Amino acid sequence: MEPIDLKTIPVSPGVYLYKDVHGRVVYVGKAKHLRKRVASYFRPPETQTPKTRAMLRQAQSITTLITTTEKEALLLEASLIKKHKPRYNILLRDDKQYVLFKLNKKHRWPRLTLTRKVLKDGSKYFGPFTSSHSAWQTLKAVHKVFKLRRCSDRAFSNRVRPCLYHHMGQCMAPCCLEISHEEYSEQVQRVELLLSGKSNELVEVLTAKMYAASEAMEFETAAQLRDQIKAVEVTVEAQAAVIPTAHDMDVIGLGETDAGLALGILFIRGGILIDKKYYFWAGLDLEEAPELLLTFLSQYYNANSFVPSRVVVPWGNDVLGDETEAEPLAAHAEALTELRGMQVRVAPPRNDTESKLVTMATANAIDDSKNKRIVSPLAILQKRLGMSVEAYRTEIVDVSHTSGKDTRVGMVVFEGEQPAKDQYRTYAFTDEEGGGDDYGVLALWMERRLNSGPPWPDLLLIDGGRGQLNAVTSVLEAHGKSGLFTVISIAKARKDETGRADRRKGNIEDRIFLPGRSNPLQLKAGAPELLLLQHMRDLCHDYSIGRHRKARAGRALSGELQRISGIGPTMAKKLWAQYSSVKEMAEASVKDLMQIDGVGKKKAEAIYKGLSVFRG
C-alpha cells in the first residue's frame, strides 16, 4: 500500500474508502474522527481481525470524504456500500424492502393497500411482513370482512356506478352511494386495531356490538359481526403476544455457529410478534460481530423502511465502541430518528423480557442457519473458476441484431443468485458500428463499459464462444485491466448434421470458456452451478432480443410517423425521446406537444391532428 501521511487525514467526521491497484473500492468505513480511525489500521497485525489483514493486503490507496456530522457519515457510508458493494465490507445480501400495509388516512374515504415503501404522506403504515403471499392473503381477508374501498383515488373520483365488489358485499361504495361517513370510519378504526396488533381489543368491541345487535333483534347485523370476529381470530392465530406493552420494536439477536455468524430480527408491533427474519454470514466469527451488527443497522434501515420507536440490540456501547468511537449507537439512533421523523432509541435490553427476546432471536437465527449451510452454486463457481472471492455482482451480456441492423447489446445484472432488474442496461449501436460483426460489437461494448466505471462486476458472463470471449478480453488487456474482474463465456453445445448434440466431440452440454484455456471447463450436466449460468444466459438472451425487437419496431413506427405532415426524421426522434410509445404520443394534448423543443402552437396542432390515426 502507498505510504500514508496521517497529517493529511482530516480530524473531522467522514467516510474513508480503501481502493485496490485497479482503483476498485474494496472497503468503506465511517468515523467520528477520521485520522484516529485510519491510524488504527496501522497497529500490529496480531491485534487486527483476519478480514482486516486480508483487506490491507489488497489495498493500495485511501480516499476520504468529509461530512459535517457523524450521522451524515453513517448515511453516506451506507450509500457507498450499497453502490460499490466492496469486497471486504459485510454486505446485507437480502436488502429488499418487505411488505407493509398502507392506510391512506388523508383521504376522506381511506383505502388499504400493500406497499414496500414508507412515504411521508400522512398515511399510516403497519408491518413489515417478510412473506408477500401471507400479506396478500391477509389483505383479501380484511377486504372480505371490512368493506373498505379498493379502487385507486383516480378511479374513485371518476366512478359513476358501484363496482363488482359492492355487489359481492365487500365494498360500501362510497364512490357513488350516499353512505354514513361515521359507519365507514368505524370500519377503518377496526382495521387499524387489527393491523396494530390490538386484536383482543377489537374482538371485545365486536363482541359487545354483536350482543347489542342481537338484543335489538338486528340479527343480520349480529351475524355480520360474528363473521368479522371469526375472520379476525383466523387472521391473528399465527401471532403471539410476547410483551405487555403497546410499543413497536425490532429485536435483534446475533450468535456464532461453527460455520459463521447468524442474525435474527423479530418484528414486534403493539406487544405482538408479527413476523421474523434471519440472516447468515459464512466464515465470520464473534470477533467480527460488533462490526456486523453496526453494518446491519446502517444497511437494513433506509428511507423506504418502517422504523419502529425502539430497536433492541444484544450489546451496548461498552462492547460496540472502541477508542476511536465510544458511542456508536448514538449515531445510529440519530440517523433512525431522522428517517422516522420521531424519536428512535437503539439500546441493549432494559429488562428480563427484552433479554429473553434477544435470546429467542439468537437461538432461532442459529437454528435457521443450519438450513443455509448447503454450498451455494456461486461458492462452487468461485472454486472452479479460481476466483479470490465468491461472485456477488454478475453481469451477463448478449448481442442481438437482424442482418446487422438495429444492433443492441443487452446487459443483465445478478446480485447473488437473483436478478437486479433496476440495473439492467441496453447499449445501442449504429448499423455502421454493428454490421453483423458480433466480435467487433462486443469489443466496442467493452470500451463503453470501461468508460462507464464502477460498480464493477465480480464475474462477467458472455453469451458466446471463444471468439466472443477473446474480443472482450483483448480490450481489457489493451487497457491494462485484465485482473479487474473474472470473464467467462457460455456457448451452446455443438450440433452434428442431424441437429443433435455432437457426442463425438463430448459436447452434449453447454460449454464454459475461460481466458487462456484451450479446452472448455467441464461442468456436470444438471449441476447447480451450470444451471445458474444457463439461467443467467437465458434471461439475458431474452432481454437482449426484446430490446432489439423494440428498436426494430421503433424504426418501423418512426417510418409511419414520418408520413404525418410536420414530422420528419428529427421530429420523430424528438417524439420518441419524449414518449415511450405511439399510444402516449397520440394521447398527448397540443399543450403537451408544445413542451417539445422547437414545437410551436401551429406545429403542435398539425402533429396532434396527424396523430389522430393512432387514437383508434
Kindly report the CATH number assigned to the domain that includes residue 596.
1.10.150.20
**Residue 400 within a domain:** yes
Q: What is the CATH number of the domain that holds 453?
A: 3.30.420.340
Same-domain check for residues 352 and 331: yes
- DSSP code at position 151: S
Residue 244 within any structural domain of the chain: no
* Structure confidence at residue 193 (pLDDT): 78
Query: CA 14 to CA 29: how far, in whole Å?
Result: 9
Q: What is the pLDDT of residue 508?
A: 47
CATH classification of the domain holding 334: 3.30.420
Same domain flag for 117 and 254: no
Q: Is residue 54 part of a domain?
A: yes
The domain tally of the chain equals 5
* Residues 264, 217 share a domain: no
Q: What is the C-alpha to C-alpha distance for residues 526 and 306, in angstroms, rounded to an integer?
A: 41
- Residue among 267, 513, 299, 473 at smallest CA distance from 385: 513
Same domain, 284 and 308: yes
Residue 545 lies in a domain: no
- Its domain, for residue 16, covers 6-84
CB atoms within 10 A of CB 433: 14
Is the same domain home to 367 and 266? yes
Among residues 84, 111, 139, which one ends one of the domains? Answer: 84
SS3 435: coil
CATH number at residue 72: 3.40.1440.10
Across the beta sheet with 260-269, the strand order is 240-241, 272-282, 260-269, 249-256, 310-312, 345-347
Where among 349, 372, 395 does a domain terminate?
Answer: 372
- 233 and 256 in a single domain? The answer is no
Does any domain span residue 485? Answer: yes
Q: Is residue 418 part of a domain?
A: yes
Residue at a domain's end among 337, 353, 372: 372
Contacts of range 472-478, beta carbons closer than 8 Å, 24 or more positions apart: 472/442, 472/443, 472/445, 472/446, 473/515, 474/443, 475/443, 475/446, 475/447, 475/450, 476/446, 476/450
Q: Residues 203, 265: one domain?
A: no
Distance CA 178, CA 197 (A): 32
Q: Are 567 and 561 in contact (CB under 8 A)?
A: yes
CA distance 445 to 429: 9
544, part of any domain: no
**CB atoms near residue 109 (< 10 Å):** 17
C-alpha 567/C-alpha 559 separation (Å) is: 10
- Radius of gyration for the chain, computed over Cα atoms and rounded to the nearest angstrom: 30
Residues 523 and 385 in one domain: yes
Q: What is the pLDDT of residues 356-380, one digit of tens each?
A: 899 989 998 998 887 665 677 888 8
Shared domain for 525 and 488, answered yes or no, is yes
Ranges of residues in the chain with a pLDDT under 70 are 1-2, 93-97, 197-202, 231-246, 371-374, 404, 434, 493-509, 551-563, 576, 580, 615-616
The answer to pTM > 0.75 is no
Question: Is 93 part of any domain?
Answer: no
- For residues 394 and 514, membership in a common domain is answered with yes
Q: Are residues 141 and 59 in the same domain?
A: no
Whether residue 529 is found in the same domain as residue 392:
yes
